[in-house]
A and B are shown apart, each in its own frame.
Chain A
Amino acid sequence: MHARDGSLKWSLVGPTLILLIAFNVFPLLYNIFLSFTNAELVGEGARNVGGANYARIFSDPIWQAALRRTALFVLCAVGVELLLGFSLALALKKDFKGKHVVLTTLLVPMMLSPAVMGLYWNFVLNGNYGILNQALSALGLGEPQWLTDRDLKFWSILLVDIWMWTPFMMLIALAGLSAIPNSIYEAAEIDRASRWQVFRHVTLPMCAPLLGLAVLFRATDALKQFDLVMATTGPNDASTQTLSTLLYQSTFREGKIGLGSAWACTVLVVVLALATVFTRYVERMRKTQEAT
């Protein structure tokens, strides 16, 4: 490399790195500082309160409930979407006429805005005039109050999430399936392996690395769940409040920036842990990809 490349390469990567640091690292550090104060959204003169915000978070049942609820949401969303997405991918593996159209239609929901679609789903799920209940009652299946029943709201939001993100799992699963060479299946046929054995010992293990990546992607995303909850029940609903909406509620509706920042810091620890797992995973996958 030439000596003048030195300044060229930093002028290429520099602006991006500076912007990312300015908008991510700096706010993070500032958040940590704020989390030890009693800063409020309006008014000046924040005081240092030591670890009081953190003490409050770890003893407040509302925070803990939101934490558990978010964990349940991530678990259910990722699990169901993986199962449905993988089933769809298995069904769609073989070519058929019109596959292109079917596949594209199936993929559309994940490209749409969760906030806008969440609002629209209010209309579909409405207890009185929503089309879902009209269809259910025509079939004699009753009329559940999807978005007002305390025990049901959470699952309704999950349903919308499944509608939006099953395609994501399907897309990645399809990539995994199509990467399995046909010769392996042919060899299994010669060995008279049963359908289940082929699935268990060939299909599943060969798709596993990609599915793992898909699960990590979805898990970090579902952990941030905000848009759908805001669009359906709002941020302050005791049975649907997730980490992000609780953060929003205490920071912006109640104006408690100090407390919100402390909460954000604890959420970040979780997110960063997941992100580290994720990046390690990607790195390992790249290495094995390069090796083959």
Chain B
Amino acid sequence: MKLLRWLVITLGFLFAALPLVWMGMSSLKHQADTINPHPKFVPSLSAVAEPESHTFEVTGEAYAGLAVLHAGAQASFWEHLWNSVIIGVLSTLASVLLGTCCAYGFSRFRIAGAKDWLFFILSTRFMPPLAVVVPVLMMYRKLDLQGTHLGLVLLYTVFNLSLAVWLMKGFLDEIPRAFEEAALVDGYSRASAFLRVVLPEARTGMAVTAVFCLISAWNEYGFAMTLNSSGAVTVPAYFAGLQGNIEGMPWPQVAAGALVFVVPIVLFTILVRDHLLRGVTFGTIKQ
């Protein structure tokens, strides 16, 4: 039984980790070493003479190559990463701001049909992007928002609102009402009690919500590809566009770029570890 337990843990760990380790290793290779029929898994600092060995020369070439413009792409990896950063950060700020206000309203006030509204908000998350994208595309064409940062910022803000409202409602519900009531007695207005008493108490919740909004905007592909194929292209859409590249896939650069792209996410995952369950289940499960 104990043996079986360790077997499961080991296999699971390897299954999760090996693809990522291989990604890191591949990002340090020359292009030829990534498509060599002999697997290269022993790093070496000097050039390798025999093509059949398992040794490869470590090189930073792929990372330098991220600045190169590829056939069929409009900009280098770094510019696409910058698009992802701008769109991710701005939409996250907007989602958390709107979501916190909305969650506070539902948490503290009697709102007609509150339960139905909350479930309406949750159900928007179930919508497949492809099912609403055509009307949005037509609207964006009219408003000249197609292929702009603003267009995706707006869309991701709305897309993440369900997450932000549900997560923040969970966090706000946990803050005792007595805090605000004391502030109201002290002569604060409702609004300033919210700003000066509740918000500081909710800052952990807001940070956690922000991380989950950021990750979901950062990883989004469906809207990014259909709406922003010509401008303000984010990294997932850019990477997908590399497929079928006539120069052959630049695997070391794909690995390097993917690694640069996922490292912040891994760091954020570690940061919000204790709230992970809440985040991925929209606050429907609390620990």
Contacts and interface: CB of A to CB of B under 8 A. Distances in A.
B69 interface: no
A115 B221 contact: yes
B98 A116 contact: no
A276 to B, nearest CB: 8
A267 B131 contact: yes
A19 B98 contact: yes
A73 B215 CA distance: 25
Interface in A118-175: 119-124, 128-129, 131, 134-135, 138, 163, 166-168, 170-172, 175
Contacts of A260: 134
Nearest to B265: A111
Contact of A15 (B39, B101, B287): B101
Interface size class of A (residues with CB under 8 A): 35 or more
Contacts of A265: 131
Interface SS of chain B? helix
Interface in B74-112: 98-99, 101-102, 104-106, 109-111
Interface in B130-188: 130-136, 138-139, 155, 157-159, 161-162, 165
A204 B247 CA distance: 53
Interface stretch (B59-67, B202-210, B248-256): B248-256
A88 B9 contact: yes
B23 interface: yes
Interface string B239-271: 110110000010100110010011001101110
Interface in A217-253: 217, 220, 223-224, 226-227, 230-231, 234, 243-244, 247-248, 251-252
Contacts of A214: 281
A1 B107 CA distance: 14
Interface in A68-86: 84
B258 A168 contact: no
Contact of B13 (A16, A106, A274): A106
Contact of A112 (B130, B219, B276): B219
B155 A23 contact: yes
Contacts of A88: 8-9, 12
A105 interface: yes
A100 to B, nearest CB: 8
A2 B126 CA distance: 37
Interface size class of B (residues with CB under 8 A): 35 or more
A48 interface: no
A12 interface: yes
A227 B234 CA distance: 14
A106 B17 CA distance: 7
Contacts of B262: 112-113, 116-117
Given A108-B16, A119-B254, A163-B15, A264 B121 contact: no
B254 to A, nearest CB: 6
Given A123-B255, A124-B22, A163-B15, A227 B9 contact: no
B102 A123 contact: no
Nearest to A22: B158
A95 interface: no
A202 interface: no
A55 interface: no
A213 B240 contact: no
A268 interface: yes
Closest 7 CB pairs of A and B: A12-B105, A27-B135, A113-B219, A115-B221, A115-B236, A16-B102, A13-B105
Interface of B: 1, 4-6, 8-9, 12-13, 15-17, 19-20, 22-23, 26, 34-39, 98-99, 101-102, 104-106, 109-111, 115, 117, 119-124, 126-136, 138-139, 155, 157-159, 161-162, 165, 190-191, 215, 218-219, 221-222, 225-226, 235-237, 239-240, 242-243, 249, 251, 254-255, 258, 261-262, 265-266, 268-270, 273, 276-277, 280-281, 284-285, 287
Interface of A: 1-2, 4-5, 8-10, 12-13, 15-17, 19-20, 22-24, 26-28, 30-31, 34, 84, 87-88, 90-92, 102, 104-117, 119-124, 128-129, 131, 134-135, 138, 163, 166-168, 170-172, 175, 178, 195, 210, 213-214, 217, 220, 223-224, 226-227, 230-231, 234, 243-244, 247-248, 251-252, 257, 260-261, 264-265, 267-268, 271-272, 274-276, 278-279, 282-283, 285-286
